[in-house]
Amino acid sequence: MSAPGPAAFCLRLLRRQLVLAVRRPIEIGNPLLFFAMVVALFPLGLGPAPDQLAGFAPGILWIIALLSNLLTSDAVFRSDFDDGSLEQLLLSPQPLYLSVLAYIGAHWLITGLLLALVSPVFALMLNLPGEAIGSLVASLLLGTGVLSLLGCIGAALTVGLKRGGMLISLLILPLYMPVLIFGSAAVQAAVNGSPAGPYLALLGAMLSLAIALAPLAIAAGLRISVDA
């Protein structure tokens, strides 16, 4: 069998990651359950007054999306690092940039995309006005892509460490903050009736920049972690 071309290899890797995830549905379900449970915490902590919740809803939904992304990104490379297949990937002649994109793509499909798709349900539970739901989904679709890319930088740098879990949040949360600012601002703008377009455009610009640059940092991080 001849070696597949870079694009075919990248797609196969993506399929492999998705198959692995589908075989363990709880891994896909966990972030969604986490999302639902943390949403339930806010009315308990802040009080159930509908207008008050509606005011906080953009920020609440975005912070939960960010946290569930953070919690799942830790595991992206871990099992492949432990069983040695990551090392094989680094040794293979395939461009690491594309392979890394396949990992991130799979992570985004099973966390970010799903979260964005179910977020309208939680938005209604938090009394977010109906006209803001479109920009909530759009901002989450774009923003979670950036979050996945940034989270994987942290995952790549800490995958070789025994106690990476707490450290990754310290490394990655400062980088998440700009995404949070523009993501929740987009939803807030839609709530106030002003156009969310500029914020979504900024998120799109961040996503393009992150797709171009983050895989380089992730590839470098993986090489460092495997060499160490």
Partner 1 sequence: MWSFFHKLGSPPWLYGISGSILRWLLPLTLLALVTGLVWGLLFTAPDFRQGNSYRIIYIHVPAAVVALAGYYVMAIAGAINLIWKMKMADVAMKAAAPIGAALTFIALLTGAIWGKPTWGTWWVWDARITSMLILLFLYLGVVALYEAYDNKEAAGKACAVLSLVGTVNIPIIYKSVDWWYSLHQPASIKFTGESSIDPSMLYPLLLMITAFYALFTCCLLMNMRAELLQREARTNWVRKLALAGGRG
- Interacting residues toward partner 1 by CB under 8 A: 153, 157-158, 160-161, 163-164, 167, 170-171, 173-175, 177-178, 214, 217, 220-221, 224-225, 227-228
Least Å from the CB of residue 171 to partner 1: 5
CA–CA dist 123, 154 (Å, integer): 29
Number of H helices, E strands in the chain: 10, 0
Q: Measured from the CB atom, is 59 or 129 closer to partner 1?
A: 59
Q: Measured from the CB atom, is 53 or 157 closer to partner 1?
A: 157
Least Å from the CB of residue 220 to partner 1: 5
Copy the structure tokens of residue 46: 């802040």
CA–CA dist 100, 204 (Å, integer): 20
Q: Measured from the CB atom, is 137 or 189 closer to partner 1?
A: 189
Q: Give the number of other Cβ atoms within 10 Å of residue 220's Cβ.
A: 14
Non-local (6+) Cβ contacts of 70 within 8 A are: 147, 151, 168, 169, 172, 173, 176
Least Å from the CB of residue 82 to partner 1: 17
CB-CB contact of 99 with 88 (8 Å)? no
Least Å from the CB of residue 9 to partner 1: 24
Non-local (6+) Cβ contacts of 85 within 8 A are: none
Least Å from the CB of residue 127 to partner 1: 24
Q: Measured from the CB atom, is 9 or 182 closer to partner 1?
A: 182
Q: Measured from the CB atom, is 66 or 137 closer to partner 1?
A: 66
